[in-house]
Structures are given as C-alpha cells and as structure tokens.
Amino acid sequence: MCGIIGFTGRSQAKDILVEGLTRMEYRGYDSAGVALEVAGADGEARLDVIRRVGKVAGLASELEGYKDESTCGIGHTRWATHGRPSTANAHPHTSCDGRIAVVHNGIVENFAELREELQDRGHEFKSDTDTEVFAHLIEEAYGCEGDLMAAVREAVSQVAGAYGLAAVCADEPGTIAVARKDSPIIIGMGEMGAYVASDVIALIDATRDVVVLADDQFAKLTPEGIECTDSEGRAIQPEVTHVDWDLDMAEKGGYPDFMLKEIHEQPRVVRDTLVGRMSANGELDIDELGLSLQELNDIDRVYVIACGTSYHAGLVAKNVIEGWARIPCEVEAASEFRYRDPIITPSTLVVAVSQSGETADTLAAIRDARIKGAKVFGITNVVGSPVARESDGVIYTKANKEIAVASTKSFIGQIVSLMLLALLLAQVKYRLSTKTARMLFRELGDTAEQIQRILDESSDSIHEAAEAVAPAHSALFVGRGMGAAIAYEGALKLKEVSYLHAEAYAAGEMKHGPIALIEPGFPVIAVATKSPTYDKVVSNLMECRARGAVVVTVATEGDEEIKKIADHVIYIPQVRDCFSPITASVPLQLLAREAALLRGCDVDQPRNLAKSVTVE
C-alpha cells in the first residue's frame, strides 16, 4: 500500500520525509521519492524531485549527499497499481514545467480519458501512472487560478475515483495542498511545523493530536498552521483526535495483529479490485489482457494452477468458469501440475494464481505450460512480480501488501479477480448476456457491503464458536459445491494459525470414511448457507450431530431451522450462491484467528511458515 508524507515548517524537510517513509515501509513498497522546495541560485524557488526504485534506504542514501536546506516537501512510498515499478513511475509526479509535484494514494478511474484530453491540450506524460494526471490538471488550473489550493480543488473535481493527495508548487513556497476521497489522509501540527501523512505511524513522533480528513475535505498546510476547507472552499473546523497508540499498534492501524487488520480491509479489497473494471456499456477492462478476443474465444479448456490458499481460490473459480463461461476447468496444485504431463493445446488457458507472484512451484508450472503451448493468465497481488512478467495477461488483486503469513484479504482479491476473468470469458463466448454480466458484476460489488456487515455484527457468535473449537484436538470442515471450496480454505486457516489439526471434506463424502472420526465433542464446522444443496448439507450434519459432534455452521440470515441441528450458528447475509465464498470465508478466517488466540498462538507469524515460498 502506498504511503504519503509531507512537511512544511522550521526544520529540514528531507530527514522528516525519509523517517516518515521508513515508518510506512511495512505497508509494502517498490519505489520511493520526495519533492523538495529549494531556492535556486537565481533566488527563484524550484522543486527537486529525487526518486528511487527499491527500499527507502536507497533513497535515504541518495539524499545523504543532498545539501539544500529545504523546509518544505512531500514524499511517497509506492506499491504499484498502474504501471510497473520504475523510477519514472515512482512518485512524486510533476507537471510539464516541473513547478508542481504531487503524491497520491488511490485510483483515478477515468485516467485514460483525462490523459488523452490532457495530451490533446499539449501535456507530455512521463510515466504510466494514473497519478500523473493530477500534476497536469493542477498545472492547468493553477494557470487560471494562481492559487494552489483552488487548483487542487478544481483538479480533483474532474477526477472519478479515490485519492489521498498532497501537492506542492514552486510558486507558493511553504504551502502543501491536501485533498482526500476514499483514501486516508491525516494532518497534524507539531512543534516544528505542519505534517501530512496517509498513516498515523508517520506522524506520532511529531504530534499525537491529529485530524483525520473526511472525504471531500481539503487542507492547506503552511509553517504557521493548517486551514481545512470543504469542496466549495469554505472554512471548516475539523475534529481533532488524540492518538495514544504505541508504534506497534500504529503499524497495525490500531488492530492487535495484522491478520485482523487485513481481514477488516476486505471490503476495500473487493471495491478496489472492481473499480473501473466495467464500462457503462458492460465491457470488462482487465489490467493487462495480453490475449486477443479471438484467442480468448478459442479457449476450450482452463487449468487453474496455484498453491495453498490460492489453490482454494481456484476451486471457487472452477464453479464460475464452468457455470458462466461453460468451459471445462480443472484446478491443480502447481506442485503436481509441473510434474504431470497435462493435456495442453494452443487453445488451453492456464490461470496461475499467486498472491506473492513468486511461488516457485507456480512459476515452474507456468514455464512448463508455456513450453507446451498454453496461454497463461496471472492473478497476482504484486505488480511486476515474476508471475505477472511471465504471463500473457494479468489481473492484479489490489489487496495491497499482505503482512500476516495467513492469506486473508489476498484470497478475497483472488476470488473477485477470478470472477472477473470468468465474466470476461463468458462474455467473449456469448454465454452470458450483457445484462446478466452487469447484474453479476453489481452483485459481486455488493459483497463489499456484506463483508462489512459480517465484520460489524458477527464477533460474538464467532467468539462463542471459537471457544468450542479451541480445546479440541482435531476439527472437520464440510460443505458442498461452493461451500466445499470454502471448507477447504477454512480448514487451512485453522491449522495454519492455531496448529489444530483440521481437515475438509465435501459433506456428501462424510459417510464414505471421515464420519468414523466423529465422537462426542468432535467439532464439525459446516458451510450451510442457502444453496441448491442446502438440504443435503443439513442431512449430513444431522448424521454428525447424532454421533455427538459439536456442530458449528455458517448459515444464511433468517435461517431459524439450522439452530435445531447446530450448537453454534454464525449468520451471514443472503447472497447469490456463486458469491457465497466471498462472504462465508470471512467468519471462518475470524474463527481461525480467535481459536488461535485462545490457544496462545502468534497469528501473524505461525511457526514453520514463510510468506512466500520461493523454493520447491
């Protein structure tokens, strides 16, 4: 996730910016940069922009040799979304004349149109980023307004999307203009001057009394103080919040651990992964499609290859690729696929799913599939990662950096991305009408709100269920159809973070073996949401209950009947069955975390596990 920092005051800006960027580096980075206001030899102020690919330390060592005593500047650490990691794509971005610089978090949905219009009016773009449009829009508006704050207000009024933005202008030394919509911006006044950041962690050494800007609010920072305004430029009196977090808490956004923070980020992940993907006429926009519509239309077989949680996202994808696009789809562990001799032809599409984009088995399977002539499509969270580079086309999951070893938000981003791919295939093959595709796309987006409701309303029932599960030695997860895919992921989460043995089974398979495990007190955790196989799942649970199992169900709101067979019910909102994996996964993630905490485990860094598995 990108980080913004800015300072104007009576102290050297560069050290404050570097310190702030270093503090935010834990959120993920691929490059970093600063823009500093300095007085030129002729006495005229100018902006010096220094950017570096890689860690903030690289930028810091470059800045060590930088002698100008600038007291105003902005900085940024980037986690790429538009455009590969490169110096040109690193922030700050500048106007044509180099007198305006901006740093931005968020997404400009209409950047392609804006960029074209600006180019038609003579602006030259130096990067592939969506952010750069801000620099040029502000430049144009500044030409008319002669006022940075008014120019920023005018620029953002033309933008659709999300932004946390800070801008400086060489013609207004000492001023930082700030704007916010759907991306965090925090400002504060310290002893040495005024600060802006996207994360409280970058400010807490300077001040603990901060203002969290609300959407559509603006702020003008000068060494003397901060003025907040609304979108009309009217002064507003923002609420000041006192932050008493320590550094560790601040890094986690106030959550006790990264796993919980990342689970709570999932509504945003759904929204960000979908933003700007469907045009008004129902056409889908994929990051780097890399395949012609004819090539997509020719596809007659899909393999989804992945490992761990990403493999489980593939199990969900199989249902929609076959259900919506009617293309046969197989899901395989990449570690198996690479050593088999799968049937691959030029009309085979291999979809490689990897959060990190660098899992060794997945990469080896991609290479093997390409040699055999398959087209390869990557679903990854990391722009420019090996999976992205070695695939013909890519969808980025927009989960931002995931720190907890157990994947949560990236899983949700993967499912949403795979559903986009399934919709695309269905449209290209005319298996779904534009009307239906639009409706499914809208309902997919609605899951953001539904996840939020689960996060807001289910903690008590999840805690009670976790208390029942935590003392056990083993647990069984069951479900059918989409529910089975989620059961597999639920079991993986539980064993990963709580070290409790857990196994998942398609519920209908219980009587063919696993039911022998059931004895009084044995936990059976079932995905029993309303679906075409709901009644079957209920009968399977009755069989478990009859043998003394403690039954925990994830069920659909309003289902009172389920209480007759379940000891613990976690309700989730009703959704179309194909979208239930997105919502039903959330309580199982929380259940795993709660059980792990009750068992005294470190949920962020489970033993024996690494975040990316780059060896075979």
The H or E element containing residue 93 is strand 93-94
CA distance 407 to 603: 11
- In sign, the C-alpha dihedral spanning 581, 582, 583, 589 is positive
Residue number, 501 or 511, with CB nearest to ligand M6R: 501
- Whose Cβ is closer to ligand M6R: residue 185's or residue 421's? 421
- Measured from the CB atom, the residue of 22 and 381 that comes closer to ligand M6R is 381
Q: Does 308 bind ligand M6R (CB under 6 A)?
A: yes
Question: Distance of CA 12 to CAs 32, 44, 208, 325, 452, Å?
Answer: 18, 19, 20, 58, 42
Cβ closest to ligand M6R, residue 292 vs residue 614? 614
Tell me: does residue 356 bind ligand M6R (CB under 6 A). yes
Site string for ligand M6R, 169-198 (x = CB under 6 A): ------------------------------
The nearest distance, CB 610 to ligand M6R, in angstroms, is 8
Name the residue with the smallest CB distance to ligand M6R. 308
Minimum CB distance to ligand M6R, residue 609 (Å): 6
Contact flag: residue 400 with ligand M6R (CB under 6 A): no
**Residue 45, strand partner residues:** 39
Is residue 397 involved in binding ligand M6R (CB under 6 A)?
Answer: no
Is 611 a known active-site residue?
Answer: yes
Does the footprint of ligand M6R cover residue 354 (CB under 6 A)?
yes
Smallest gap from residue 387 Cβ to ligand M6R (A): 8
Kindly write out the interface string for residues 259-298 of this chain, putting x where it contacts ligand M6R by CB under 6 A and - elsewhere: ----------------------------------------
For the beta carbon of residue 373, count every other beta carbon within 10 angstroms.
11
User: Per-residue contact track with ligand M6R, 459 to 498, x per CB under 6 A?
Assistant: -------------------------------------x--
Residues 335, 362, 397, 589: which binds ligand M6R (CB under 6 A)? Answer: 362
How many residues touch ligand M6R under the rule CB under 6 A: the total is 16
Contact mark string toward ligand M6R, 592..611, x via CB under 6 A = -----------------x--
| C-alpha distance from residue 563 to each of 244, 279, 522, 536 (Å) | 43, 43, 18, 16
* Whether the Cβ atoms of residue 93 and residue 111 lie closer than 8 Å to each other: no
Q: Which of 307, 482, 491, 507 binds ligand M6R (CB under 6 A)?
A: 307
Q: How far is the CB of 88 from ligand M6R (least distance, A)?
A: 27
- Taking 3-state DSSP, the helix, strand and coil percentages for the chain, each rounded to the nearest 5, stand at 40, 25, 35
Torsion angle, CA of 25/26/30/33, rounded to 10 degrees? -10
- The answer to whether residue 310 forms part of the interface with ligand M6R (CB under 6 A) is yes
Which residue in 31, 70, 309, 529 binds ligand M6R (CB under 6 A)?
309
Whether residue 500 contacts residue 599, with contact meaning beta carbons closer than 8 Å, is answered with: yes
Task: Please select the residue that binds ligand M6R; options are 5, 38, 331, 406, rule is CB under 6 A.
Answer: 406
Q: Smallest gap, in angstroms, from Cβ of residue 361 to ligand M6R?
A: 8
Instruction: Give residues with Cβ within 8 angstroms of 611, minimum separation 6.
Output: 356, 402, 403, 405
What the block records as the tokens of 347 is 């009309």
Nearest Cα residue to 491 out of 610, 588, 612: 588
Counting every residue written for the chain, the total comes to 616
Under the binding rule (CB under 6 A), the answer on residue 355 touching ligand M6R is: yes
When asked if residue 405 is in the footprint of ligand M6R (CB under 6 A), the reply is yes
The answer to whether 104 and 117 have CB atoms below 8 angstroms apart is no
Segment lying near ligand M6R (by CB under 6 A), choices 62-70, 198-206, 292-300, 401-409:
401-409
Q: What is the DSSP string of 261-296?
A: HHHHTHHHHHHHHHTT-B-TTS-B--TB--S-HHHH
- List the one residue from 407, 447, 531, 540 that touches ligand M6R (CB under 6 A): 407
| Minimal distance, residue 403 CB to ligand M6R, in Å | 12
Cβ(449)–Cβ(267) under 8 Å?
yes
Min dist CB 38 to ligand M6R, Å, is: 42
Q: Which of 582, 546, 586, 541 is nearest to 559 (CA)?
A: 541
Q: Cα–Cα–Cα angle for 285, 286, 291, nearest 5°? A: 115
Q: Which residues are catalytic?
A: 2, 611
Binding site for ligand M6R (CB under 6 A): 307-310, 354-356, 359, 362, 405-407, 496, 609, 612-613
